[in-house]
Amino acid sequence: MTRIWSIPGGVHPEQNKSQSLQLPIGEIALADEMVYPLSQHIGAPASAIVAEGERVLAGQKIANAKGMISANIHASTSGTIVAIEDRTLPHPSGMSGPCIILQPDGKDEFAEFEACEDYLALERDQLVNKIREAGITGMGGAGFPTAVKLSPRANQPIDTLIINGTECEPYITADDMLMQTRADDIIKGTQLLAHLLGNPARVVIGIEDNKPKAIEVMKRAAKDTDVEVASFPTKYPSGGEKQLIQILTGKEVPAGALPASIGIVLQNIGTTVAAYEAVRFGKPLIERITTVVGQALETQRNINVRLGTPINHVLAEHGFIPKNASRLIMGGPMMGFALENDGVPVVKATNCILAPSQKEFPEPTPAQACIRCGMCAEACPVSLLPQQMYWYAQAEDYEKLEAHNIKDCIECGACSFVCPSNIPLVQYYRSAKGTMRQLAIEKEKSDRSRQRFEFRQERIAKAEAEKDAKRLARKKAAEEAKKKVEAQKASGETPAAGNDLVANAIASAQQSQTTPDEQKAKLERTLSSAASRLEKLQQRLTETDNDDSQQAKLAAQVKQAEVKLQDAKSKLENFSTDSSAAPAAVDPNDPVAAAIARAQAKMTMAPDEKLRSNLESLNKRLAKAEEKLATAKAENSDTADALQTGVDKLKEKIATTEKDLAELPPSASLAPQAANSEEQDAASAAIERAKAKAAAQASMSDEDKLRDQLTAMAGRLQKTHDKVAAAKADNAETLDALQLGLDKMLAKQQKMRDQLRQLNPSAAELNDSPTVTETAPTVVEPDAATAAIEKAKAKAAAQASMSPEDKLRDQIESLEKRLDKAKQRLIKAEAESDDNIDAFRTGVEKTQAKLEQTRAQLESS
């Protein structure tokens, strides 16, 4: 006697199995249309290999298994494929899915099957392949591909094969009938499966003790075999895979694991027959035994039905009265599902079609509040806490449900069955499990999404960084190219320089070196120019030794030059030049110092002394200049003109100096101031002088004034004469204007002389005029100039010793001489039609006028 374990919980619903056991297995007529859903098993849907309009034979494969966990589908009768379209599926969702629609031709021609007498001699793989080709799936309800179950992993040796003949659901008797009618095939099939699994130590067929006939038949069939037939007390849900394993072996399959993990394989009893037929006769899974039961039917029995037969056809064959039926259920009353549409076909896993009456299956009574009675927990075959799970399911607290192992729930419905409040507990668990599955999928997807998103971000960042790097590299390259060009420009003739940077550095170094050199040179130049300027000034200072006013000016200039020189020197020294530059700068220092000393000595002299010494030096210079001029003329030198102007200037200076000397005694008190001021500033000196003169004039008598004015006029006349001469020499346009000015000045002088004569007829200045007027021709003709000067000097010397009468007489003589000369020139000029003819004419007229005046004076005196 086989040892039997017990399972926790479990319920004892009404069996209701006798109804369908009264009649033998029946056959029904072929339906007008067969429907083969591509997905009628667990795993991937099969893919159709037939086309619309194709004729197929019974047993011909019409859809191929796709992937590992999938199953082939075969036509269950001969006919034509009319469509491959979506039809309502035999599924609790009531959803549609792709189905192959076959229109039977009624001939029911079978394809040729490859039979095999000695199938045990075949290779294991071949056998499994035969089973796979036959499209056999678990016939118990779930529909797991059998071939997969028969190929356990190598590391999971199978020591027990259990054939499930339990059939614990009420109403269903398909397996019972199968065992009663085909016990031998079951045994052979069991042996085949055992063979495929490597002949496990224990092969046991488990049958509930509510099927005594089946037990008897099976025991008889298994008598001389290794197959063990075990019966055990009826209790729902003993037929559950894990429950049956526990009952027969006492082992519990770990949560979330397959029975193979503990060395056990469990197959449905229908599957054994199908496998046997597939191997022995090559017959694919095209029909099965299904219980058709319910009080809404006239006939309740088990039928051998072709797969794909629509349920409404099956029902019609059994006298189904729709108005009597409360609903239509595929599967058992505990675990089956209601069908909304009776057009769905019988599939591989359809073990029962239940059409109960209202009386049998009344409307479920409304759920009431959970009273926490705990009966569900007692009924649960998996030892869960259905009551707690119910609360959590209501609260959608999936974490807590997970913690309460909701995944181990086999959805047997025992808890709902015992619930006094009629709470559809299993519905809650199914819903919660579905949601949790969905959440897990979403979680997986969101993780993948995150990964993809992060990868994308990373990729974009990388691309951006690469772009940036490229941009930077380009920029750098451009800058380098620019630098190169610049370096080539800078280095100019040295483009051969390999390294641009080095060339650059050298160029800049050279620049920085030449710059101080240049600066130094510049400073040296300034120094030398300052020195030369100082030398020149010094020379002039020595030349104007006796000229006080010039000396003052020069002294100021010398001072400035000195300051400049000092500046330049200090700069040069600051620049830290080499010692060779320093002596050069020092050299002119000594003469400068000497000059300064001399100038200072002169400055300390008395004003009249200064003037006198000036006059002396000027006279000396004049003498020298005249000598030079004479030699220059004799040699006909180019410098004659320059010397001539120099002589003129000297004469001028002498005149002013003499005048200053003359003024000095009457305004002795003012002179030093003037002299002092001259020392200080050359510009203000003129103003001071003018002031001094004005002051002197104010204190002077009318006669003195006139006399003074007359001398000043004489100076101006002299200057104007010079200008006219210069203008004549240059043939300037201003000649006429100057000539006019000269005439006016002469007239003015004449007036002043007349006034003076009225005041003091014997005034010495009256005799000056011939001297002054005489200079005009001398300027025009350089040859006569020196002679005139000599004459003028002689005259001046003679006049000083002569009486006024003699003087006048002398003047008259000279005027007469001049007149003659002038007349001669005029004639000559007229003959040559000279440009100067007008000037000569006026000159002649003036001389005549003077002559007459002088004669008149002589007569009056």
**Considering the complex, what minimum distance in angstroms separates the CB of residue 447 from other proteins?**
7
User: Which residue from 366, 492, 583, 665 is in contact with other proteins, where contact means CB under 8 A?
Assistant: 366
- For tokens 């897990």, the residue is 440
| 3-state class (DSSP) for residue 376 | helix
Q: Interface with other proteins includes 589 (CB under 8 A)?
A: no
Q: Interface with other proteins includes 93 (CB under 8 A)?
A: yes
Q: Interface with other proteins includes 92 (CB under 8 A)?
A: yes
Residue type, 739: Q
- For tokens 């010494």, the residue is 613
| 3-state class (DSSP) for residue 86 | strand
Beta strands 61-64; 73-74: pairing state: antiparallel
Closest CB to other proteins among 210 and 427? Answer: 427
What string marks each residue from 437 to 466 as x (binds other proteins by CB under 8 A) or -?
Answer: xx--xx--xxxxxx-xxxxxx---------
User: Which residue from 304, 435, 637, 842 is in contact with other proteins, where contact means CB under 8 A?
Assistant: 435
* Range list of H helices, 43-136: 124-133
What string marks each residue from 96 to 115 as x (binds other proteins by CB under 8 A) or -?
Answer: -x------------------
Tokens (6 digits) for 839: 């000037």
Task: Find the binding residues for other proteins in span 704-733 (CB under 8 A).
Answer: none
Rounded distance, CA 13 to CA 417, Å?
Answer: 8
| 3-state class (DSSP) for residue 232 | strand
Task: Find the binding residues for other proteins in span 388-407 (CB under 8 A).
Answer: 393, 396
- For tokens 């194709």, the residue is 54
Task: Find the binding residues for other proteins in span 666-695 (CB under 8 A).
Answer: none
Closest CB to other proteins among 223 and 450? Answer: 450
CB 826 within 8 A of CB 841: yes
Closest CB to other proteins among 40 and 164? Answer: 40
Q: Interface with other proteins includes 637 (CB under 8 A)?
A: no
**Considering the complex, what minimum distance in angstroms separates the CB of residue 422 from other proteins?**
10
What DSSP line would sit under 566-609, residue for residue? HHHHHHHHHTT--TTHHHHHHTTHHHHHHHHHHHHHHHTS-HHH
Stretch that binds other proteins, among 378-386, 423-431, 664-672, 812-820 (CB under 8 A): 423-431
**Considering the complex, what minimum distance in angstroms separates the CB of residue 392 from other proteins?**
12
What string marks each residue from 464 to 503 as x (binds other proteins by CB under 8 A) or -?
Answer: ----------------------------------------
Closest CB to other proteins among 129 and 435? Answer: 435
Tokens (6 digits) for 635: 């040699």
Rounded distance, CA 276 to CA 272, Å?
Answer: 6
Closest CB to other proteins among 446 and 701? Answer: 446
Tokens (6 digits) for 572: 């040069």
CB 78 within 8 A of CB 112: no
Q: Interface with other proteins includes 644 (CB under 8 A)?
A: no
CB 33 within 8 A of CB 306: no
**Considering the complex, what minimum distance in angstroms separates the CB of residue 424 from other proteins?**
5
**Considering the complex, what minimum distance in angstroms separates the CB of residue 453 from other proteins?**
5
Rounded distance, CA 201 to CA 203, Å?
Answer: 7
**Considering the complex, what minimum distance in angstroms separates the CB of residue 444 from other proteins?**
11
Closest CB to other proteins among 433 and 624? Answer: 433
User: Which residue from 147, 432, 776, 792 is in contact with other proteins, where contact means CB under 8 A?
Assistant: 432
**Considering the complex, what minimum distance in angstroms separates the CB of residue 88 from other proteins?**
11
Q: Interface with other proteins includes 427 (CB under 8 A)?
A: yes
**Considering the complex, what minimum distance in angstroms separates the CB of residue 474 from other proteins?**
24
**Considering the complex, what minimum distance in angstroms separates the CB of residue 446 from other proteins?**
4
In degrees and rounded to multiples of 5, residue 459 shows phi and psi of -65, -45
| 3-state class (DSSP) for residue 11 | strand
For 817, how many CA atoms within 13 A lie in the half-sphere containing its CB?
10
For 58, how many CA atoms within 13 A lie in the half-sphere containing its CB?
17
Stretch that binds other proteins, among 360-368, 527-535, 598-606, 662-670 (CB under 8 A): 360-368
Closest CB to other proteins among 96 and 848? Answer: 96
Q: Interface with other proteins includes 387 (CB under 8 A)?
A: no
**Number of residues lying near other proteins (CB under 8 A):** 38
**Considering the complex, what minimum distance in angstroms separates the CB of residue 46 from other proteins?**
14
Closest CB to other proteins among 434 and 495? Answer: 434
What string marks each residue from 780 to 819 as x (binds other proteins by CB under 8 A) or -?
Answer: ----------------------------------------
Long-range Cβ contacts of 418-423 (<8 Å, 24+ apart)? 418/11, 418/375, 418/376, 418/378, 418/379, 419/375, 419/376, 420/371, 420/373, 420/375, 421/367, 421/368, 421/369, 421/370, 421/371, 422/364, 422/365, 422/366, 422/367, 422/368, 423/367, 423/368, 423/370, 423/390
Rounded distance, CA 331 to CA 323, Å?
Answer: 21
Stretch that binds other proteins, among 89-97, 150-158, 189-197, 210-218 (CB under 8 A): 89-97
CB 55 within 8 A of CB 158: no
Task: Find the binding residues for other proteins in span 36-55 (CB under 8 A).
Answer: 39
Closest CB to other proteins among 124 and 456? Answer: 456
Beta strands 61-64; 47-48: pairing state: antiparallel
Beta strands 227-232; 301-306: pairing state: unpaired
User: Which residue from 232, 417, 428, 840 is in contact with other proteins, where contact means CB under 8 A?
Assistant: 428
**Considering the complex, what minimum distance in angstroms separates the CB of residue 431 from other proteins?**
4
H or E, element range at 146 = helix 146-149
**Considering the complex, what minimum distance in angstroms separates the CB of residue 452 from other proteins?**
5
Q: Interface with other proteins includes 89 (CB under 8 A)?
A: yes
Q: Interface with other proteins includes 86 (CB under 8 A)?
A: no
**Considering the complex, what minimum distance in angstroms separates the CB of residue 463 from other proteins?**
12
Q: Interface with other proteins includes 424 (CB under 8 A)?
A: yes
Q: Is the dihedral of CA 632, 637, 639, 640 positive or negative?
A: positive
Residue 720 vs residues 316, 586, 659, 694: alpha-carbon distances, Å: 158, 46, 18, 23
- Residues within the interface to other proteins (CB under 8 A): 39, 89, 91-93, 95, 97, 365-368, 393, 396, 424, 427-428, 430-435, 437-438, 441-442, 445-450, 452-457
